[in-house]
Amino acid sequence: MLKAIKHELLLRKNELGNEQIETIYFGGGTPSLLTIDELHFLLAIIYENYTVVSNPEITLEANPDDLTTKKIKELAQSPINRLSIGIQSFFEDDLKFMNRAHTAEESKKCLVEAKKYFNNITIDLIYGVPNMSNKKWLANLQQAFELGIPHISSYALTVEEKTALHSFIKKGKVAPVDEELALKHFNILVEETEKQDFIHYEISNFGKSNYLSKHNISYWQGEKYLGIGPSAHSFNGIERSWNVSNNSKYIKDLVENELPSESEMLTVNNRFNEYIMTGLRTIWGISFEKVEKEFGARFLQLLKKNSQSFIEKGLLEIQQNSFLSKTLVTTKKGKFLADGIASDLFIVNEM
């Protein structure tokens, strides 16, 4: 697999032209299973074949049970400077419910150790879990604050089809996901992080000043990115591509000197809709100037018309950033509904 990833990196090294790499992200599974030598091997290939800025943000995703003290020390001596740790909850019963391999004790222990060597740490927390009280959700957040974690990504529990959870809910063994409960937890999340001086810069992301995720911001702002490995996605501004998810096929194609990917050219409508979806999720909103410049006056006219009812309901508002610059953003009341609002602003028919 590592040889195949190396080969893909080499085959695709001209795709970004002379553009500089500002962020590197080891994700999409459990990259912390890689040894430190294997991580150095991949980073060396990137540095030898791509133009990387002098101080890039380099993130590694990990689960608490992978982060031994020895592993954390090794990572701290590597170019990796940011850890993304899948905590999910600090309570044992929640972790068992979510079928997580780690324990609550391992969560706390790994974070205490990680804080000794890394300043830039983000954790995932899940809310809206059936039978999770507001008090328990608040305790989860307080634990993160007490540990001094500078960034939190927090998501409502979702139920995917063909999963054990989906089956348990269908059989009545587990209570269904309650949207009202999720909304209460979301409001607690927003209020409590604000008290701790976190910036709520994207619907699910909260960071202290200087700890916002540069990598994720690039996605939300429509910048180009290159995804390497099975199932990885890439975007060059007008075309989206994705690698096969089958490991054997991925390796086989690269052995035969072929890229294991498919691609699609995005229509103007596709790009507009994606900008609406990502823009409404962030504090930067949707720039009227950018819509007119990149998509045309007709798109801006329709956006203003279609957003009017949401402005009247207090879910969206127009911010005047300068004399000519205006942006459309969600209000506090509208944040939790951002994805639904965005879908109503999509342009379906070709313009």
- Residue bearing tokens 């009247």: 312
Higher pLDDT, 234 or 98: 234
| Number of domains into which the chain is organized | 2
311 and 184 within one domain: no
| Inside any domain, residue 70 | yes
What domain range includes position 71?
20-219
214 and 70 within one domain: yes
Start-to-end C-alpha separation, the chain: 44
38 and 113 within one domain: yes
pLDDT tens, position by position, 237-288: 889 999 999 999 999 999 999 999 999 999 999 999 999 999 999 999 999 9
At 330, which CATH number?
Answer: 1.10.10.10
284 and 195 within one domain: no
Q: What pLDDT is stored for residue 344 in this prediction?
A: 96
**DSSP helix/strand/coil, 346:** coil
282 and 200 within one domain: no
Measured distance CA(20)–CA(11) in Å, rounded: 17
| Inside any domain, residue 62 | yes
332 and 194 within one domain: no
Name every residue whose Cβ is closer than 8 Å to that of residue 323 and which is 6 or more positions away in sequence.
none
Name every residue whose Cβ is closer than 8 Å to that of residue 209 and which is 6 or more positions away in sequence.
197, 199
pLDDT tens, position by position, 169-202: 566 666 666 788 999 999 999 999 999 999 999 9
| Inside any domain, residue 235 | no
Residue 290 has pLDDT above 70, yes or no: yes
101-107-111 Cα angle (round to 5): 140
Provide the mean pLDDT of the chain.
92
| Inside any domain, residue 128 | yes
- Residue 319's DSSP bridge partners are 327
> Which token pair is 114?
């990680």
Please state whether 26 falls in left (phi above 0), alpha (psi between -120 and 50) or beta: beta
| Inside any domain, residue 4 | no
| Inside any domain, residue 12 | no
Measured distance CA(10)–CA(258) in Å, rounded: 12
Q: What pLDDT is stored for residue 175 in this prediction?
A: 61
**DSSP helix/strand/coil, 348:** coil
Higher pLDDT, 133 or 164: 133
Residue 165 has pLDDT above 60, yes or no: no
Q: What pLDDT is stored for residue 17 in this prediction?
A: 82
286 and 212 within one domain: no
**DSSP helix/strand/coil, 119:** coil
311 and 196 within one domain: no
156 and 33 within one domain: yes
Residue among 286, 276, 292 at smallest CA distance from 327: 286
Average pLDDT rounded to a whole number, residues 146-174:
76
Helix count and strand count (H, E) for the chain: 14, 13
Q: With beta carbons less than 8 A apart as the criterion, state whether 204 and 280 touch.
A: no
